[in-house]
Amino acid sequence: MQAGKAPGLHSLLVSQGGKLVFEHYGQGADERLGVPLGDVVFGPDVLHDLRSVSKSIVGLAYGIALAEGKVPPPDAKLYAQFPEYADLAAQPGRDKLTIHHLLSMTLGLDWDELTIVYGDPRNGETAMEAAPDRYRFILERPIVGEPGEKWTYCGGATALLGRLIAKGTGVALPAYCRRVLFDPMGFGPSEWNVGRDGEPRAASGARLLPRDLVKIGQLMLADGSWNGKSVVPPDWVKRVTTPVVPIRAGRDYGYQWYMGEIAAQRLRWSGGIGWGGQYVFVIPARDLVVVIHCGNYRRSGQEQTAVMLALMNELVLPSFA
């Protein structure tokens, strides 16, 4: 790969056949959800923001809680799970919304994280973080479309999933993920950023070691099993990675997981994507898991994608057939 095509690269890891076969770490400026960390020398023992790859972690945790009977199923009515906001539930049209719409980001509510930059008070997630009650803020958004018809990127949906996990299990989201997902897979240290209100930032707050994010991909390739033991129910692994709604040509969304095709061979993948250049890709046809971490938080989404495509198309995929 030509030099200069992967600016801001912090780490690149590749697993094939269940084994780590490539590992590269760089050095550069990093942040913890916008808080500068200075110049960081990255390595296997250095935590990194997942940003919105956190959503894919939450999607798996929800499936575990569902199997335990602790959270409502996808067809359950959304507002019925939040009786503390009964005034909102009584508003016309809100009775149509279900947990399925949360999981697939097809709520039909007024929310914009993609065309308005983070930090702008009009940005949905920024406004949610500034609200005195983040959950009321999400649930009171105006209805602007029919639920289930259109994908609208919404960190608020993941925040509600995290809240349902906490309500149902009696355990805060980070502790629950640690107990049912991270510890059974032998993860090292992890962190989960919280908002000003002390609530976990379900949509973007997780920080993991790069090798542990690789394990998430390996778990998906193994239909939710780790070392022969089921961690995530196999039917849930299939469900989160089954397309529910198209995003654009060649890109779909399931339950907090993306699906698409990459390279001239049109290889199918599923994975998580986070701002700044955070990726986990699962490519079953090659038994591959790819983890990319970058610090391109101030670059455009198009620039972030260009770095990822250069790494995948010019380095990873030609090297690991």
Token pair 């997780």: residue: 206
Alpha helices in the chain (DSSP H): 53-67, 86-89, 99-104, 124-130, 134-139, 155-169, 173-177, 210-221, 234-240, 301-311, 317-319
- Res. 264 pLDDT band, cuts 50 70 90: confident
So what's the pLDDT on residue 5? 83
pLDDT digits (tens, 9 = 90+) for 223-243: 999 999 999 999 999 999 999
Task: List, as one string, the DSSP characters of 138-176.
Answer: HHTSPB-S-TTSS----HHHHHHHHHHHHHHHSS-HHHH
Give residue 4's pLDDT.
76
The confidence score (pLDDT) of residue 313 equals: 95
Q: Find residue 167's DSSP bridge partners.
A: none
Give the integer Cα–Cα distance in Å for 272 and 229: 23
What pTM value is reported for the model? 0.97
| Per-residue pLDDT at 74 | 99
- Kindly state the average pLDDT of the residues 199-205: 98
What ranges do the domains of the chain cover?
9-319
pLDDT at site 246? 98
Of 62, 23, 29, give the one whose Cα is nearest residue 296: 29
Q: Is the pLDDT of residue 272 over 90?
A: yes
pLDDT of the residue at 263: 77
The mean pLDDT of 13-26, rounded to a whole number, is 98
Residue 3: predicted pLDDT: 58
The CATH superfamily of 9-319 is DD-peptidase/beta-lactamase superfamily (3.40.710.10)
Contacts of 212 (CB under 8 A, 6+ apart): 182, 185, 187, 188, 190
pLDDT of residue 1: 55
In angstroms and rounded to an integer, the radius of gyration of the C-alpha atoms of the chain is 19
Going by pLDDT thresholds of 50, 70 and 90, the confidence category of residue 92 is very high
